[in-house]
Structure 1
Amino acid sequence: MFYRSKAPLRISFAGGGTDIASYSDIYGGNVLNVTINKYAYTHLELREVPQIEIYSQDFESITRIKANKDLQFNGESDLAKGVIKRFYEGSAGLRIVTHNDAPPGSGLGSSSAMVVSLIGAFRELKNLALSPYDIARRACEIERGDLGILGGMQDQYASAFGGFNFMEFQKDHVIVNSLRIDPWVIHELEYNLILAYTRKNRLSSRIIESQVKNVERNDQASLNAMHNLKAHAVEMKKALLTGRPDEFGKLLDYAWQEKKKMAATISNGQLDQIYEDAVKAGALGGKVSGAGGGGFMMFYCESTRKRRVMEALVKAGVEVMSFNFELSGVQSWRSSRELRTPQTVFTKDKFLAA
């Protein structure tokens, strides 16, 4: 029996950064985001051999662990180890294969979606009654607590719930408000939004560390920007719910200008130039998705100018990626079919699927 799961990635429209505990525990945070049809995938199967094997197709790596020994966090497959440590106490061996539709450091919440996907696979294996809130909360505990990875909480909740969500973060609770947006507005957003990969990945923890330090030392410029972004997320939500997508697109520009004030590392010369080129070509607004520094950017433009904006982005060396919105959260299932096992080639610690 094979146990499989997929969890959607997300793009963040407004409020990103206000979901980090150093800020939200004091002031409360608001985030507006949506999931897209790009996923983190997990394949899980039990094995007779008492050994855990974790294959990452993204990093072309394999990690082997004796099932009867404690799992050690050492930088090798730690996300999977964190989930195993919390969800598996059996004596049988495991084989886990993971892969992601987006590269690491993309700004689409791929790492947190992978944790959600892994939890989804174990939920299927063990028939666990876990709600989206349960899955998201445990994913946060694993990443932020067990592994000590800096970051916020929107990625885990977005991937667990799916769809358009307005999220409220407080010290002792999280509320996910699923938005009922008119279908024509959703179609309009898909038609007019451009998702662009800058080909520059970044380590989000360094950017987030700067944001945390700015909050801790009460940096007023950074705090005011975060307060504005939190309020701005409410205005963008209203624009979507009341059928004003063009206004929503213009508000993206404000969100980007305020986000850059949160930390000096959020933008750079390359991102500023890409943004300027897109606006000159006709984009109403846009921003980086995620912590900043690189990864994916999004732009909203009127339909008649979309091709011009795309051409300007390609000329700037950016890869335009097609997408649709995903309105479902993490999904898991079982397969009892006898599937052909891929031929594997082991070269030191490399794993290549032929």
Structure 2
Amino acid sequence: MEPDRAPIDAVAPLRISFVGGGTDLPHWYEEHGGAVLSATIDHSVRVRLVPRDDREIRVRSLDLGHMVAYHLDRGPAYDGIMDLPKAAILRMGITTGVDLQIESDAPPGSGLGGSSALVTAVVAALAMLTDRRLTAHEVARLSHRIEREDLRISGGWQDQYAAAFGGFNFLEFSRRDVAVSPVRASPQTLAALARQLLLCYTGSVRRNVGLIDRQIQLHREGREETILGMKRLQEMAFAMRQAVERGDLDVLGSLLDEAFVAKKQMNPFIAEHTPIEEMLAAARSAGATGGKICGAGGGGYLLLAAPPSAHEAIRVALARSGGQFAAFTFSSDGVRARRGRHVWAPSA
């Protein structure tokens, strides 16, 4: 029987982390536990896989203009160009050639979990290619292993779990496992929440500034403010989850502000050499009730809360600083792959 050469299309969602990022790293959660409130959105990373009849691998990024090619017998060079899909192909034990084409709705380092979404989408496409069944937990753990162990990229666990599971979730981290609990909020509450939120790109992205490594080092040094900031972030994840489940959205802005303060307390370098604080101040002056940086900091996206009546004034104010707004809605779908009429999704 001839092998199936039909293309496989995989998609993994990007996410907004409301609060708790940083507590999903092992140096913290192994001793204290960790908690993150996270929601996937209708922005994504998309991967098209086309099987080949040889052992050549070709990986192309439509966004970045990168193209890499290598033979499976010789293996790839890990040179910072498309290393994530290279490592995923090796980890998944692929023995036949493939062409991979990658497209993302957010640039690398933007704070929306794009790198992990990319790995998760590639894992899904390769799993469908090899007819391999995986649970959502297995997809997340496999993607984490590719990033953190194979490539030694610093970071936590939340992004892989967000992409694998999808939805609005409360994630809890411990030595034993990761618990994923859907937030119990009505569709009306989530729609009202989405109407209050704005997502603004600051015009720059985080590029190898070592913020996560600095955070880990500050904790190892026993810096008191770092420890207090992390404790506060963990507590706030529970508080914000409860506020959303109660439908108490009036407190959202102040909670986002407090989350940003706690994040700076944890790592005072997150806004260094960026327009982040200037843009947050401008947003508040234009009517925002609060806001924070997405991801580890160093640039990327701001998440702002404001009454819809203030949105236009905020857009105008931040556009003066180079801000670019991205419309979004919450999405409940985790990673998926499709080949013709057949769909691959993580099992329960």
The two structures share one fold, judged by TM-score above 0.5? yes
8 A Cα contact 1:204 1:292, kept in partner: no
Mapping of residues 1-354 of structure 1, within 5 Å? 1-90=6-95, 92-203=96-207, 206-268=210-272, 270-335=275-340
SS in 2 for 1:260: helix
Aligned partner of 1:345 in structure 2 is none
The worse-fitting range, judged by mean Cα deviation, of 265-274 and 292-301 is 265-274
Rounded to whole Å, the distance in 1 between the matches of 2:231 and 2:114 is 26
Q: How high is the sequence identity, in percent, across the aligned residues?
A: 36
- In 1, Cα distance between equivalents of 2:312 and 2:194: 14
Residue aligned with 1:180, SS: coil
Cα drift, residue 125 of structure 1:
1.1
TM-score scaled to structure 1, two decimals? 0.91
* Corresponding pairs, count: 335
The one-letter code of the counterpart of 1:326 is S
Give the Cα separation in 2 of the matches to 1:216 and 1:96: 40
Q: Any idea what SS the aligned residue of 1:294 has?
A: coil
| 1:76 Cα offset (Å) | 2.9
- Separation in 2 of the partners of 1:144 and 1:50? 27
Report how far residue 184 of structure 1 moved.
1.1
Give the drift of 1:303: 2.1
Q: Shift of residue 31 of structure 1?
A: 0.4
Structure 2 residue runs without a partner (length 5+): 1-5, 342-348
State how far apart, in whole Å, the 2-side matches of 1:21 and 1:205 are: 20
Q: CA deviation at 1:118?
A: 0.3
* Conserved 8 A contact 1:204-1:291: no
Equivalent position amino acid for 2:337 in 1: S
Query: Cα deviations across residues 246-271 of structure 1 (Å, max 9, x unaligned)?
Result: 21232111111111111122113621
Q: Does the CA contact (< 8 Å) of 1:246 and 1:302 recur in 2? A: no
Mark the CA change 1:112 to 1:208 in structure 2 (over 3 Å): closer, same or farther: same
Deviating 4+ runs (over 6 angstroms): none
Please, what TM-score do these two structures have when normalized by structure 2? Answer: 0.93
Show CA shifts across 1:117-145 (max 9, x none): 00110121122211111100110111001
Q: 1:94 Cα deviation (Å)?
A: 1.1
Whether contact under 8 Å (2:209, 2:298) holds in the other structure is: no
